[in-house]
Copies of this chain bind each other. A is one copy, B any other.
Amino acid sequence: MSDTPILIVGSMAFDDLELPSITARDVIGGSATYSAFAASTFTEVRLVAVVGDDFPEAPLAAMRARGVNTEGIERAPGKTFRWAGRYDRDLIHRTTLATDLNVFASFSPKIPPSYRETPIVLLGNIHPALQLDVLEQVDRPELVVADTMNFWIQGEPKALEKLLKKVDVLIINDEEAREISGIHNIRKAAADVKKRGPKAVIIKRGEHGALLFDEMGMFFAPGFPLEEVVDPTGAGDSFAGGLVGHVAKELEATDRIGPATLRHAMLFGTATASYCVEAVGTERVASIVERDVETRMNEIRSLFHLP
């Protein structure tokens, strides 16, 4: 475990999940929740999010037990953000059945003074203006990692443009890279996105893995083929959490973050995410320990080991 803290800002939610194997209601979810559980495998996490008065204490206690500082979680009057979705049999395509923003609709991240000096910031997928607002509330971090989505790319291009200039690593998927750049070819699209600000662009490709584009070139972290995938919800957020978690450890050990750090971190993110999808919701990601990650890392390394 490292002592280098990570600030994570994003959503906390109830998810109603229709999975091929099971239908589950009131599952604790949200980008910040998954990322926080994932990152807390490696280091201290400082969480900023909003929940309603219906949100239970148990998951917050479970987070604190893993070293997540929950001081920045605001409890607002009203209901917690709720998402309902149905997955296809292949667990890749999903249909959103309902999105009730509830208290998340008026979320305005307030960074507690004790969080101000946090070297690594992970900005989950919220309005880019709010992501910018978070960056204005903290002392200049060593690394800013951000996620976004097509909704903001289409609806808030100006705010997103400003955000991209302040982001070190942008994590998006193929389609989002194409929407930002207007370019279909993924390599050219990533190069275009990188020109808009981020030093590195990570393209998530679901079960197929993730591609990193940075000053050193391209790097590919393959998705780990699991014998059983139960619930892909939160895989991307767990990937991001595992990634920044490893960066925090490396920053503490070596006092720098370079292309090598990011490449190893891609694999740590992959390993963390591969656990997440083995159970419903945060059930598995909430209990990963570093030894688990090491086990999976060895399996992932063997995937591209040339004897």
Contact = CB atoms under 8 A, between A and B. Distances in A.
26 contacts: A89-B184, A90-B184, A185-B226, A185-B227, A185-B228, A186-B225, A187-B226, A187-B227, A205-B208, A208-B209, A209-B222, A211-B225, A218-B302, A219-B302, A219-B303, A219-B304, A219-B305, A220-B222, A222-B304, A259-B307, A260-B306, A260-B307, A263-B307, A264-B306, A267-B306, A304-B304
A171 to B, nearest CB: 17
Contacts of A211: 225
Contacts of A307: 216, 259-260, 263
Contacts of A263: 305-307
Nearest to A206: B208
Given A205-B208, A211-B225, A304 B187 contact: no
Contacts of A220: 222, 225, 303-304
Interface string A210-235: 01000011111010011111000000
A188 interface: yes
Identical subunits present: 2
A227 B302 contact: no
Pick the 3 closest A-B CB pairs, nearest first. Answer: A260-B307, A208-B208, A220-B303
Contacts of A305: 219, 263
Contacts of A264: 306
Interface string A234-274: 00000000000000000000000001100110010000000
Interface in A280-307: 302-307
Contacts of A267: 306
Q: Among A184, A208, A216, A267, find the residue whose CB has the most chain B CB atoms closer than 10 A.
A: A208
Among A184, A205, A225, A227, the one with the most B-chain Cβ atoms within 10 Å of its Cβ is: A225
A115 to B, nearest CB: 32
B225 A187 contact: yes
Contacts of A259: 307
Contacts of A302: 217-219
A244 B185 CA distance: 30
Contacts of A217: 302
Given A186-B225, A220-B304, A267-B306, 16 more contacts: A90-B184, A185-B227, A185-B228, A187-B225, A187-B227, A188-B227, A205-B208, A209-B222, A211-B225, A217-B302, A219-B303, A222-B222, A222-B304, A260-B307, A263-B307, A264-B306
Contact of A185 (B222, B229, B306): B229
A304 to B, nearest CB: 5
A63 B307 CA distance: 33
Nearest to A267: B306
A229 B307 CA distance: 31
Nearest to A260: B307
A81 B263 CA distance: 47
A131 B135 CA distance: 63
A90 B303 CA distance: 27
